[in-house]
Amino acid sequence: MRADFLKFNPLKLGEEEIAEVVDTLRSEWITTGPKTKRFEEDFVRQFDCKSAVALASCTAGLHLALAALGIGKRDEVITTCMTFTATANVIEHVGATPVLVDVEPDTLNLDLAQVEAAITPRTKVIMPVHYAGHPVEMDALRALAEPRGITILEDAAHAVGATYRGRPIGSGENPCAFSFYATKNLTTAEGGMLTGSAELMDKARILGLHGMSRDAWKRYSKSGSWFYEVLAPGFKYNMTDIQASLGLWQLKKLAGFQQRRAEIAAAYTKAFSACDLLETPVVRPHVGHAWHLYVLRLKSERLSIARNRFIDEMTARNIGTSVHFIPIHLHPYYRETYGYSPEDFPVALDAYHRMLSLPLHPGLTDADVADVIEAVLDIATKNYVRRAA
C-alpha cells in the first residue's frame, strides 16, 4: 500500500506561471487588463474560435450566454441530468425552465432521442455537457436544433482541448463555455471562457462588466476615458490579469498535459478492460477526448460491496477518488420544485450508483498509476461474487 495519500486532482503549476503572476503584481494592472486580453487572443488562436471573453467562471459564461440570448420567463432550456448543478442553476437564474433528459448508457452524454422528444414550442436553447471530456454528437444535435431555430449552448467545462470530427470544441458560431477551475485541465484558479460569434461575445462582454459600454475597463488607463454608459443591468463576471497570468502559461502547456492524461487513461483502460467486474469509459472514433475525468463504473451485481464502500476501500489504500455527479434530479431543490422521482432518469441513476472517478492529472507518475490500478483490481477481486453454476 502507498505510504502517502494520492490526491484526486492536485494543481500542476510551474515556475513560469509564478513568474507571470509576479510580473502582473508589479505592473499597473492586476484586474482586467492587457494580460486578460492577450489570454483571450491566444485562446481564440489555439482553438480557432470566432471570438472569446475571459470570465470569472464557466458558470458566468453559461449565465451570460443565456442573458445575451434574451432567454427568460416562459422559455425552456433542455439539458442533461448528469452534470454539476451550475448547468441547471443558470437556467433558473434567468427565469427559464430547465427541462432535464437522460443520458446515453455509454458516454453519459445527452440522449438525443430524448432531447427530440422533449422539444416544445417553448424550447429556446439546448445545453449539452461534454461529459468527462467526451464530446456530444454535435452533428446530430445541430440537425435537431437548427431547423427549429433553437440555439445550442455548450457546457464545455470538461472539454478544453477536445475535438469533434477534427474541429476543436468551441470553434463554432454558437456559444460555448469553458471552465478553468483549480481541478480542470487548464486552470486559472477560478475562471472561464465564453466563445462564439463576435456579435454575441460583444453583448456578453458588456453584460459581464456591469452592462457598461464597450472598453469601460480602460477608464483608469491613460488611453481610456472616465465616461461610460450603462447599456443593460449587467453582472460582475470579468477575469483578472492575475488569473490570466496563469492561463497564458497553462494554455502553452496544455498539449503536453493532454498527452499525459491520454496516456494515463489508456493505461487504466488496458488494465481494467480485462476485469469483468468493471466497466471502462468509451471513446468514439471521431472524437478527441479531453480526458478531464476517468469515470469507472462497477458491475455491482457481481460485487459484494457497493460504490461507497469501494471508495472507502480506495481511501484506506491512500488513493483519492470522487463521484461525478449526483444527478440534478436527486437534489432537493430540483426534486421538490419539479416533482422528480429518482427513477425518472434510469440511465443516469444507475450510472450514479456505480461510478467513481479515478485520479487523472498530468502530475501522476507511472508508479502512481500502477498504485491506482493495483488498488482497484485488488478491491474488485477480493469482493467478487461468484455466479452459481
Q: Which residue shows C-alpha cell 453519459?
A: 108
The shares of helix, strand and coil residues in the chain, as percent rounded to the nearest 5, are 40, 15, 40
**Spatial CB neighbours of 314, under 8 Å, sequence gap ≥ 6:** 320, 321, 356, 375, 376, 379
Distances (CA, A) of 283 to 60, 130, 139, 174, 205: 29, 12, 17, 24, 35
Cell numbers for 257 = 498535459
Q: Where are the alpha helices (DSSP H) in 78-125?
A: 85-93, 112-118
Output the DSSP codes for 206-270.
HHTBTTBPTTGGGGGSTTS-S---B-S---B-BPPHHHHHHHHHHHHHHHHHHHHHHHHHHHHHH
Amino acid occupying residue 376: V
As a whole number of angstroms, the distance between CA 284 and CA 130 comes to 13
Instruction: Select from 59, 81, 7, 9 the least CA-distant residue to 352.
Output: 81
Catalytic residue among 12, 50, 124, 184: 184
184 has catalytic annotation: yes
Strand partners, 54: 193
Residues with catalytic annotation?
A: 184
